[in-house]
Amino acid sequence: MKKKEISTKACTCSIIGTGSHMPERVMTNDDLAKIVDTSDEWITTRTGIRSRRIAAEGEATSDLASAAARNALEMAGVKPDELDLIIVATVTPDMFFPSTACVVQKKIGAKNAVGFDISAACSGFLFALQTARHYLNGGPRKTALVIGAEKLSSLINWQDRNTCVLFGDGAGAVVLRSDDSGVVQGQVLSSVMGSDGSQTDLLKVPGGGSFLPVTPENVASRPNTIHMEGRETFKHAVTRMCQASEQALKDAGLTTDDVTLVIPHQANARILAVMADRLGIAAERMFINLDKYGNTSAATIPVALDEANRGGLIKRGDVLLLVAFGGGLTWASAVIRW
Ligand code: COA
Protein backbone atom coordinates (compact mmCIF):
# COMPACT_ATOMS: atom_id res chain seq x y z
CA MET A 1 0.00 0.00 0.00
CA LYS A 2 1.36 3.41 -0.99
CA LYS A 3 2.00 5.58 2.07
CA LYS A 4 0.60 9.10 2.07
CA GLU A 5 2.67 12.08 3.07
CA ILE A 6 1.60 13.10 6.55
CA SER A 7 2.27 16.47 8.11
CA THR A 8 4.30 15.97 11.29
CA LYS A 9 4.59 19.62 12.16
CA ALA A 10 1.97 19.49 14.88
CA CYS A 11 3.94 17.22 17.16
CA THR A 12 7.52 16.22 17.81
CA CYS A 13 6.77 13.56 20.44
CA SER A 14 7.74 9.96 19.89
CA ILE A 15 6.84 6.78 21.74
CA ILE A 16 10.29 5.28 22.34
CA GLY A 17 9.34 2.38 24.59
CA THR A 18 6.36 0.25 25.61
CA GLY A 19 5.85 -2.04 28.58
CA SER A 20 3.17 -4.00 30.36
CA HIS A 21 2.66 -6.17 33.39
CA MET A 22 -0.20 -8.53 34.16
CA PRO A 23 -0.76 -10.22 37.54
CA GLU A 24 0.05 -13.91 37.67
CA ARG A 25 -3.29 -15.25 38.85
CA VAL A 26 -5.58 -16.34 36.00
CA MET A 27 -9.34 -16.49 36.67
CA THR A 28 -11.21 -18.43 34.00
CA ASN A 29 -14.89 -18.29 33.12
CA ASP A 30 -15.29 -21.70 34.73
CA ASP A 31 -13.81 -20.30 37.95
CA LEU A 32 -16.45 -17.53 37.87
CA ALA A 33 -19.23 -20.03 37.22
CA LYS A 34 -18.42 -21.49 40.64
CA ILE A 35 -19.26 -18.21 42.39
CA VAL A 36 -22.11 -16.68 40.31
CA ASP A 37 -24.89 -18.03 38.08
CA THR A 38 -23.04 -17.84 34.75
CA SER A 39 -21.27 -20.10 32.27
CA ASP A 40 -18.23 -20.12 30.03
CA GLU A 41 -20.60 -20.36 27.07
CA TRP A 42 -22.55 -17.19 28.06
CA ILE A 43 -19.47 -15.12 28.80
CA THR A 44 -17.60 -16.23 25.68
CA THR A 45 -20.45 -15.67 23.25
CA ARG A 46 -21.66 -12.35 24.77
CA THR A 47 -18.25 -10.80 25.45
CA GLY A 48 -15.39 -12.80 23.89
CA ILE A 49 -13.70 -12.99 27.31
CA ARG A 50 -12.28 -16.36 28.37
CA SER A 51 -10.15 -15.39 31.35
CA ARG A 52 -8.85 -12.37 33.25
CA ARG A 53 -5.91 -11.68 35.57
CA ILE A 54 -6.50 -10.88 39.23
CA ALA A 55 -3.92 -9.09 41.37
CA ALA A 56 -2.70 -10.76 44.53
CA GLU A 57 -3.82 -9.56 47.92
CA GLY A 58 -1.56 -6.69 48.88
CA GLU A 59 -0.63 -6.04 45.24
CA ALA A 60 -1.73 -2.48 44.47
CA THR A 61 -2.29 -0.61 41.21
CA SER A 62 1.08 1.12 41.75
CA ASP A 63 2.84 -2.27 41.83
CA LEU A 64 1.39 -3.25 38.45
CA ALA A 65 2.09 0.26 37.12
CA SER A 66 5.70 0.26 38.34
CA ALA A 67 6.44 -3.12 36.76
CA ALA A 68 4.96 -1.97 33.43
CA ALA A 69 6.93 1.27 33.71
CA ARG A 70 10.23 -0.54 34.26
CA ASN A 71 9.62 -2.64 31.14
CA ALA A 72 8.87 0.45 29.06
CA LEU A 73 11.92 2.31 30.42
CA GLU A 74 14.15 -0.66 29.67
CA MET A 75 12.95 -0.81 26.06
CA ALA A 76 13.41 2.96 25.71
CA GLY A 77 16.88 2.90 27.26
CA VAL A 78 15.77 5.64 29.65
CA LYS A 79 16.82 5.75 33.31
CA PRO A 80 14.14 6.64 35.89
CA ASP A 81 15.97 9.84 36.89
CA GLU A 82 15.77 11.06 33.27
CA LEU A 83 11.97 11.25 33.52
CA ASP A 84 10.46 14.74 33.70
CA LEU A 85 6.81 13.70 33.94
CA ILE A 86 4.75 10.72 35.12
CA ILE A 87 1.04 10.51 34.40
CA VAL A 88 -0.98 7.55 35.63
CA ALA A 89 -4.46 7.01 34.22
CA THR A 90 -6.52 4.96 36.65
CA VAL A 91 -9.89 4.63 38.33
CA THR A 92 -8.40 2.33 40.95
CA PRO A 93 -5.70 4.47 42.55
CA ASP A 94 -3.85 2.99 45.53
CA MET A 95 -5.64 5.56 47.69
CA PHE A 96 -7.45 8.90 47.29
CA PHE A 97 -4.18 10.72 47.80
CA PRO A 98 -1.29 10.86 47.27
CA SER A 99 -1.66 10.17 43.57
CA THR A 100 -0.64 6.77 42.24
CA ALA A 101 1.84 8.65 40.03
CA CYS A 102 3.65 9.84 43.17
CA VAL A 103 3.72 6.29 44.53
CA VAL A 104 5.11 5.04 41.20
CA GLN A 105 7.68 7.84 41.27
CA LYS A 106 8.92 6.54 44.62
CA LYS A 107 8.85 2.87 43.57
CA ILE A 108 10.84 3.34 40.36
CA GLY A 109 13.12 6.11 41.69
CA ALA A 110 12.13 8.85 39.24
CA LYS A 111 13.26 11.63 41.53
CA ASN A 112 13.33 14.40 38.88
CA ALA A 113 9.78 13.90 37.59
CA VAL A 114 6.51 15.62 38.41
CA GLY A 115 3.63 13.18 38.72
CA PHE A 116 -0.15 13.24 38.77
CA ASP A 117 -3.12 11.02 37.98
CA ILE A 118 -5.87 11.31 35.38
CA SER A 119 -9.37 9.93 35.82
CA ALA A 120 -11.22 9.29 32.56
CA ALA A 121 -12.20 5.65 33.12
CA CYS A 122 -11.43 3.42 30.12
CA SER A 123 -10.38 6.44 28.01
CA GLY A 124 -7.84 7.41 30.65
CA PHE A 125 -4.68 6.24 28.89
CA LEU A 126 -5.42 8.23 25.73
CA PHE A 127 -6.36 11.30 27.83
CA ALA A 128 -3.01 10.91 29.62
CA LEU A 129 -1.09 10.46 26.37
CA GLN A 130 -2.62 13.63 24.97
CA THR A 131 -1.90 15.55 28.19
CA ALA A 132 1.73 14.40 28.15
CA ARG A 133 2.11 15.48 24.51
CA HIS A 134 0.95 18.98 25.39
CA TYR A 135 3.42 19.14 28.30
CA LEU A 136 6.32 17.99 26.16
CA ASN A 137 5.45 20.23 23.23
CA GLY A 138 4.84 23.32 25.29
CA GLY A 139 7.71 23.45 27.74
CA PRO A 140 11.13 22.37 28.89
CA ARG A 141 10.11 18.83 29.85
CA LYS A 142 11.44 16.22 27.43
CA THR A 143 10.65 12.74 28.69
CA ALA A 144 7.37 11.40 30.02
CA LEU A 145 6.10 8.11 31.35
CA VAL A 146 2.43 7.55 30.55
CA ILE A 147 0.78 4.65 32.35
CA GLY A 148 -2.67 3.03 32.29
CA ALA A 149 -3.04 0.80 35.34
CA GLU A 150 -5.97 -0.79 37.14
CA LYS A 151 -6.84 -3.17 39.92
CA LEU A 152 -10.51 -3.40 38.96
CA SER A 153 -10.91 -6.52 41.08
CA SER A 154 -10.97 -4.08 44.02
CA LEU A 155 -14.21 -2.54 42.63
CA ILE A 156 -16.01 -5.71 41.61
CA ASN A 157 -19.17 -6.99 43.26
CA TRP A 158 -18.51 -10.72 42.94
CA GLN A 159 -22.22 -11.41 43.36
CA ASP A 160 -23.26 -9.32 40.33
CA ARG A 161 -22.98 -11.52 37.24
CA ASN A 162 -23.77 -8.53 35.00
CA THR A 163 -20.42 -6.94 35.79
CA CYS A 164 -18.06 -9.34 37.60
CA VAL A 165 -17.40 -11.39 34.44
CA LEU A 166 -16.18 -8.39 32.46
CA PHE A 167 -13.22 -6.88 34.26
CA GLY A 168 -9.63 -7.68 35.19
CA ASP A 169 -6.37 -6.19 36.47
CA GLY A 170 -3.21 -5.09 34.65
CA ALA A 171 -0.98 -2.23 33.57
CA GLY A 172 0.67 -0.85 30.47
CA ALA A 173 3.04 2.07 29.90
CA VAL A 174 4.81 4.06 27.23
CA VAL A 175 7.82 6.36 27.34
CA LEU A 176 7.24 9.51 25.34
CA ARG A 177 10.10 11.77 24.29
CA SER A 178 10.19 15.14 22.64
CA ASP A 179 13.42 16.10 20.91
CA ASP A 180 14.81 17.93 17.93
CA SER A 181 16.96 15.08 16.66
CA GLY A 182 14.65 14.42 13.72
CA VAL A 183 14.40 10.76 14.75
CA VAL A 184 10.73 10.05 14.70
CA GLN A 185 9.23 6.83 15.97
CA GLY A 186 5.78 6.15 17.32
CA GLN A 187 4.70 9.66 16.50
CA VAL A 188 1.17 10.78 17.40
CA LEU A 189 -0.23 12.43 14.27
CA SER A 190 -3.64 13.38 15.59
CA SER A 191 -5.86 12.77 18.57
CA VAL A 192 -9.41 13.29 19.72
CA MET A 193 -10.84 13.53 23.22
CA GLY A 194 -14.49 13.91 24.25
CA SER A 195 -16.86 13.59 27.16
CA ASP A 196 -20.61 13.64 27.83
CA GLY A 197 -21.48 14.35 31.45
CA SER A 198 -25.21 13.89 30.81
CA GLN A 199 -24.66 10.11 30.92
CA THR A 200 -22.77 9.75 34.19
CA ASP A 201 -25.24 7.16 35.48
CA LEU A 202 -24.60 4.55 32.80
CA LEU A 203 -21.33 3.32 34.24
CA LYS A 204 -20.11 4.29 37.67
CA VAL A 205 -18.86 3.44 41.13
CA PRO A 206 -21.32 5.61 43.03
CA GLY A 207 -20.03 5.19 46.57
CA GLY A 208 -16.84 5.60 48.50
CA GLY A 209 -16.31 9.22 47.50
CA SER A 210 -17.65 12.50 48.87
CA PHE A 211 -21.09 12.05 47.30
CA LEU A 212 -21.90 8.76 49.00
CA PRO A 213 -19.34 7.74 51.59
CA VAL A 214 -19.46 4.08 52.58
CA THR A 215 -21.03 3.77 56.04
CA PRO A 216 -22.00 0.82 58.23
CA GLU A 217 -25.63 1.54 57.20
CA ASN A 218 -25.12 1.37 53.40
CA VAL A 219 -22.18 -1.03 53.12
CA ALA A 220 -24.45 -4.03 52.39
CA SER A 221 -25.68 -2.46 49.12
CA ARG A 222 -22.04 -2.30 47.93
CA PRO A 223 -22.04 1.28 46.66
CA ASN A 224 -18.29 1.15 46.17
CA THR A 225 -18.51 -1.39 43.33
CA ILE A 226 -19.07 -1.06 39.57
CA HIS A 227 -22.66 -0.36 38.48
CA MET A 228 -23.38 -0.51 34.76
CA GLU A 229 -26.29 -0.36 32.33
CA GLY A 230 -24.73 -2.75 29.85
CA ARG A 231 -27.03 -2.43 26.83
CA GLU A 232 -27.04 1.40 26.78
CA THR A 233 -23.29 1.51 27.38
CA PHE A 234 -22.80 -0.87 24.45
CA LYS A 235 -24.64 1.45 22.03
CA HIS A 236 -22.75 4.56 23.12
CA ALA A 237 -19.45 2.68 22.92
CA VAL A 238 -19.98 1.72 19.28
CA THR A 239 -21.14 5.20 18.23
CA ARG A 240 -18.43 7.15 20.02
CA MET A 241 -15.56 4.84 19.08
CA CYS A 242 -16.55 5.02 15.41
CA GLN A 243 -16.87 8.82 15.51
CA ALA A 244 -13.58 9.29 17.35
CA SER A 245 -11.80 6.97 14.88
CA GLU A 246 -13.15 8.80 11.84
CA GLN A 247 -12.28 12.22 13.30
CA ALA A 248 -8.69 11.35 14.21
CA LEU A 249 -8.08 9.80 10.79
CA LYS A 250 -9.55 12.85 9.07
CA ASP A 251 -7.36 15.17 11.16
CA ALA A 252 -4.30 13.15 10.15
CA GLY A 253 -5.31 13.30 6.50
CA LEU A 254 -5.79 9.53 6.38
CA THR A 255 -8.57 7.00 5.81
CA THR A 256 -9.26 3.58 7.28
CA ASP A 257 -7.42 2.08 4.27
CA ASP A 258 -4.19 3.59 5.62
CA VAL A 259 -4.53 1.92 9.02
CA THR A 260 -2.22 -1.05 9.55
CA LEU A 261 -3.57 -2.02 12.96
CA VAL A 262 -6.38 -0.80 15.23
CA ILE A 263 -5.59 -1.02 18.94
CA PRO A 264 -9.00 -0.51 20.52
CA HIS A 265 -10.15 -0.44 24.12
CA GLN A 266 -10.97 -4.04 24.98
CA ALA A 267 -14.45 -4.21 26.52
CA ASN A 268 -16.46 -6.60 24.40
CA ALA A 269 -15.61 -8.51 21.20
CA ARG A 270 -19.08 -7.74 19.84
CA ILE A 271 -18.50 -3.99 20.23
CA LEU A 272 -15.27 -4.37 18.26
CA ALA A 273 -16.93 -6.48 15.56
CA VAL A 274 -19.70 -3.91 15.00
CA MET A 275 -17.13 -1.11 15.02
CA ALA A 276 -14.89 -2.86 12.48
CA ASP A 277 -17.88 -3.50 10.27
CA ARG A 278 -19.06 0.13 10.39
CA LEU A 279 -15.60 1.51 9.72
CA GLY A 280 -14.94 -1.03 6.97
CA ILE A 281 -11.87 -2.46 8.67
CA ALA A 282 -11.10 -6.17 8.25
CA ALA A 283 -11.22 -8.21 11.46
CA GLU A 284 -7.56 -9.18 11.15
CA ARG A 285 -6.55 -5.50 11.43
CA MET A 286 -8.21 -5.25 14.88
CA PHE A 287 -5.83 -6.22 17.71
CA ILE A 288 -7.78 -8.19 20.29
CA ASN A 289 -6.48 -9.67 23.54
CA LEU A 290 -9.60 -9.33 25.71
CA ASP A 291 -10.07 -13.09 25.56
CA LYS A 292 -7.05 -13.34 27.92
CA TYR A 293 -7.48 -10.24 30.07
CA GLY A 294 -11.07 -8.94 29.91
CA ASN A 295 -11.63 -5.23 30.34
CA THR A 296 -8.78 -3.66 32.31
CA SER A 297 -10.11 -0.10 31.77
CA ALA A 298 -7.25 2.42 31.34
CA ALA A 299 -4.76 -0.43 30.93
CA THR A 300 -6.25 -2.15 27.88
CA ILE A 301 -4.68 0.06 25.20
CA PRO A 302 -1.11 0.32 26.54
CA VAL A 303 -1.11 -3.42 27.31
CA ALA A 304 -2.35 -4.22 23.79
CA LEU A 305 0.13 -1.78 22.25
CA ASP A 306 2.99 -3.43 24.13
CA GLU A 307 1.87 -6.93 23.15
CA ALA A 308 1.57 -5.94 19.50
CA ASN A 309 4.96 -4.19 19.62
CA ARG A 310 6.83 -7.01 21.35
CA GLY A 311 5.00 -9.58 19.23
CA GLY A 312 6.45 -8.04 16.06
CA LEU A 313 3.06 -6.99 14.71
CA ILE A 314 4.11 -3.37 14.24
CA LYS A 315 6.96 -2.11 12.08
CA ARG A 316 8.38 1.33 11.39
CA GLY A 317 6.06 3.43 9.25
CA ASP A 318 2.89 1.51 10.14
CA VAL A 319 -0.18 3.57 10.96
CA LEU A 320 -1.94 2.65 14.22
CA LEU A 321 -5.38 3.76 15.30
CA LEU A 322 -5.89 3.73 19.08
CA VAL A 323 -9.48 4.28 20.22
CA ALA A 324 -11.21 4.13 23.59
CA PHE A 325 -14.55 4.62 25.29
CA GLY A 326 -15.48 4.65 28.95
CA GLY A 327 -17.52 5.87 31.86
CA GLY A 328 -18.18 9.58 32.10
CA LEU A 329 -18.98 9.15 29.32
CA THR A 330 -15.55 9.66 27.81
CA TRP A 331 -13.97 8.71 24.49
CA ALA A 332 -10.65 9.30 22.78
CA SER A 333 -8.58 8.26 19.80
CA ALA A 334 -5.07 8.74 18.46
CA VAL A 335 -3.46 8.04 15.10
CA ILE A 336 0.18 7.05 15.44
CA ARG A 337 2.82 6.48 12.78
CA TRP A 338 5.20 3.90 14.21
N1 COA B 1 -24.11 -14.94 32.85
C2 COA B 1 -25.31 -15.36 32.45
N3 COA B 1 -26.33 -14.52 32.19
C4 COA B 1 -26.11 -13.22 32.30
C5 COA B 1 -24.88 -12.69 32.71
C6 COA B 1 -23.84 -13.62 33.00
N7 COA B 1 -22.62 -13.23 33.38
N8 COA B 1 -24.95 -11.36 32.75
C9 COA B 1 -26.18 -11.03 32.38
N10 COA B 1 -26.89 -12.16 32.11
C11 COA B 1 -28.29 -12.27 31.69
C12 COA B 1 -29.11 -11.08 32.10
O13 COA B 1 -29.56 -11.23 33.42
C14 COA B 1 -30.21 -11.15 31.10
O15 COA B 1 -31.16 -12.09 31.52
P16 COA B 1 -32.72 -11.81 31.32
O17 COA B 1 -32.93 -11.68 29.85
O18 COA B 1 -33.34 -13.03 31.91
O19 COA B 1 -33.00 -10.55 32.07
C20 COA B 1 -29.54 -11.68 29.84
O21 COA B 1 -28.32 -12.30 30.27
C22 COA B 1 -29.22 -10.61 28.82
O23 COA B 1 -28.66 -9.53 29.48
P24 COA B 1 -28.16 -8.27 28.68
O25 COA B 1 -27.61 -7.27 29.64
O26 COA B 1 -29.20 -7.82 27.72
O27 COA B 1 -26.97 -8.92 27.84
P28 COA B 1 -26.13 -8.28 26.70
O29 COA B 1 -26.18 -9.12 25.52
O30 COA B 1 -26.39 -6.79 26.55
O31 COA B 1 -24.65 -8.43 27.30
C32 COA B 1 -22.99 -7.09 28.39
C33 COA B 1 -24.32 -7.78 28.53
C34 COA B 1 -22.66 -6.40 29.68
C35 COA B 1 -21.94 -8.13 28.08
C36 COA B 1 -23.07 -6.07 27.22
O37 COA B 1 -24.23 -5.29 27.36
C38 COA B 1 -21.89 -5.17 27.17
O39 COA B 1 -20.78 -5.61 26.91
N40 COA B 1 -22.10 -3.89 27.34
C41 COA B 1 -21.05 -2.89 27.25
C42 COA B 1 -20.14 -3.05 28.41
C43 COA B 1 -18.99 -2.15 28.30
O44 COA B 1 -18.49 -1.91 27.25
N45 COA B 1 -18.58 -1.66 29.44
C46 COA B 1 -17.41 -0.92 29.58
C47 COA B 1 -17.36 0.28 28.75
S48 COA B 1 -15.78 0.86 28.89
Domain boundaries of the chain, sorted by first residue: 12-181, 187-337
Same fold across 12-181 and 187-337? yes
pLDDT at 273: 96
Q: Do β-strands 114-118 and 85-89 pair in parallel, antiparallel, or remain unpaired? A: parallel
Q: How far is CA 290 from CA 86, 190, 271, in A?
A: 26, 26, 12
Query: What's the CA dihedral at 261, 265, 268, 272 to 10 degrees?
Result: -30
Q: Do the beta carbons of residue 248 and residue 265 sit within 8 Å?
A: no
Q: What are phi and psi of 142, to 5 degrees?
A: -115, -35
pTM of the model: 0.94
Domain 12-181 belongs in CATH node 3.40.47.10: yes
pLDDT at 5: 35
From the CA of 162, how far away is ligand 1's center (Å)?
5
User: What length is written for the chain?
Assistant: 338
pLDDT at 139: 77
pLDDT at 75: 96
Report, as residue numbers or ranges, the catalytic residues. 122, 265, 295
Which of 234, 235, 265 most suits a substitution to test ligand 1, by most atoms within 8 Å of the C-beta? 234
pLDDT higher than threshold 60 for residue 11 = no
Ligand 1 atom having least distance to the Cα of 163: 34
pLDDT higher than threshold 80 for residue 46 = yes
pLDDT at 183: 59
Q: Please tell me the class of the 187-337 domain.
A: alpha beta
pLDDT at 185: 75
User: 181: pLDDT confidence band, cut at 50, 70 and 90?
Assistant: low
Pocket of ligand 1 (CB under 6 A): 38, 42-43, 46-47, 122, 161-162, 165, 203, 228, 230-231, 233-234, 237, 267-268, 271, 295, 325-326
